[in-house]
Amino acid sequence: MNLRPRHYLTVADLDREQLLAIINRAIELKKRRKQGIPHAPAVAKVLGMLFEKPSTRTRISFEAAMFQMGGSVSFMPSRDLQLKRGEPLKDTARVLARYLDCLVVRTFGQEIVEELAKWSDIPVINGLTDQHHPCQILSDIMTVIEHKGKNLSELKIAWIGDGNNMAQSWIQAAARLGFTLVLACPDGYRPDYNILEAAKAEASMPIEIVADPAEAARDADVINTDVWASMGQEEEAEARKKIFMPYQVDSALLELARKDAIVLHCLPAHRDEEITDEVLEGSQSIVWDQAENKMHLHKAVLEWAMGLWPEAQ
Ligand code: CP
Ligand code: NVA
């Protein structure tokens, strides 16, 4: 009997225990790497990476993760595949599954990763769509745990800016893992209503959308932001600058948070747009740890997806 592959397309695909197991595994794998202990469970495995948008961190951290684990990677910009000449996703998925052990996809609509997963006999992992960035959120929470401890329910996490893919994955994570999330977004740029309502229905802690960034930032343990115009929204960038300017994370906004608050940004950052240079380079910013953790987290996700970590559920 063919078991369904372990796809990871949104945070809500996994239950609380699975999410925490992956994060804890990433913390353990990070420790091993720092101690110089080799860890190569992926020998002879091949990861495919089908990317339709640019990437520095997600691409290179998945590649480094796979190489360090003894496996190989085939990077496939979509423009170089027959996909670009009209070959259907369902045919592409079935062919790739005959060569590869796992597929990471970065693309536009969520329906594209869903279609690939539907037809794929190997795990499909979402490396960012217009709607979700589920691996990023897990490495961000890993970073929060490293700096703030494991009691997530005691934390207030603030999201300042666009209700985009990152915001929507944070919302799903808040519901599954149980922490307070307050998002400050301008009218018209709030997260998807259905994602928000589904999360609120299962959440044990508040998930709120407000208009005022100060309300979100006040007494927050974590201040989190992202670009105002995501990939694919380049034509809106100028118009968005005016709308989002009151949502800039600057030192005055950071002052409202707890004294020991940390600042997250998934990067790439646009200095002096969504975040000032002063805050990004300041002592509360942990964005470089955050970027590093993507690699450790991706190892754990790959192990889980490919069944290389026997204790994983
Ligand atoms: N944070 C993140 O996903 O960065 P890249 O776009 O560089 O992969
Ligand atoms: N919201 C951003 C995240 C980049 C990692 C985008 O989609 O471009």
Q: Convert the pLDDT of each residue in 280-306 to its tens digit.
A: 999 999 999 999 999 999 999 999 999
pLDDT (tens digit per residue) in 51-60: 999 999 999 9
State the greatest distance between any 2 C-alpha atoms of the chain, in Å, as a whole number: 59
Q: Which class does domain 11-133+294-312 fall in?
A: alpha beta
- Same fold across 11-133+294-312 and 136-290: yes
Query: Which residue's CA is minimally distant from atom 7 of ligand 1?
Result: 56
98 CA from centroid of ligand 2 (Å): 31
The proportion of the chain whose per-residue pLDDT surpasses 70, expressed as a percent, equals 99
Binding-site residues, ligand 1, Cβ < 6 A: 55-59, 128, 136, 266-268
Confidence of residue 310 (pLDDT cuts 50, 70, 90): confident
- Where in the chain are the domains? 11-133+294-312, 136-290
Instruction: State the Cα–Cα distance between residues 154 and 134, nearest whole angstrom.
Output: 22
With vertex at residue 40, the alpha carbon angle to CA 34 and CA 44, rounded to the nearest 5 degrees, is 150
* CA 204/CA 179 separation, integer angstroms: 8
Rounded CA gap, 225 and 120, in Å?
34
pLDDT digits (tens, 9 = 90+) for 259-273: 999 999 999 999 999
* Average pLDDT of the chain, as a whole number: 97
CA 58 to ligand 1: nearest atom: 8
pLDDT score of 286:
98
**How far, in Å, are 112, 181, 284 from residue 106 at the CA level?**
10, 26, 30
Q: Evaluate whether 179 touches 152 at the Cβ level (below 8 Å).
A: yes
Q: Which CATH class is domain 136-290?
A: alpha beta
pLDDT band of residue 1 (cuts 50, 70, 90) is very low
Asked if the model's pLDDT at residue 2 lies above 60, the reply is: no
Beta-carbon contacts of 204 under 8 Å, excluding residues fewer than 6 positions away, are 153, 178
For residue 267, give the ligand 2 atom closest to its CA.
Answer: 5
HSE value, Cβ hemisphere, 13 Å, CA-based, for 296:
24
Q: Which two tokens stand for residue 265?
A: 């940004």
List, for residues 44-93, the tens digit of each pLDDT value: 999 999 999 999 999 999 999 999 999 999 999 999 999 999 999 999 99
